[in-house]
Amino acid sequence: MILLLTTDLMFQSRISGAARTAGKECLVDKSVERLVERVTAPDAVTLVLIDLTLRTLDLPLEIPRLHEHFTDCKILAYGPHVDVDRLDQAQESGADFVLTRGQMDRDLASIIQGA
CA distances from 106 to 14, 88, 103, 112 (A): 11, 21, 5, 12
pLDDT number for residue 76: 98
CATH topology of domain 2-114: Rossmann fold (3.40.50)
- Asked if 90 contacts 66 with a C-beta cutoff of 8 angstroms, the reply is no
Please report the pLDDT score of residue 114 as a whole number: 86
Distance CA 87, CA 62 (A): 15
How far apart (Å, rounded) are the C-alpha atoms in residues 98 and 80?
Answer: 11
The phi, psi pair for 5, rounded to 5°, reads: -105, 110
Task: Please identify every stretch of the chain with a pLDDT value under 70, giving residue numbers as ranges.
Answer: none
Predicted pLDDT at 13? 94
- Domain segments of the chain as ranges: 2-114
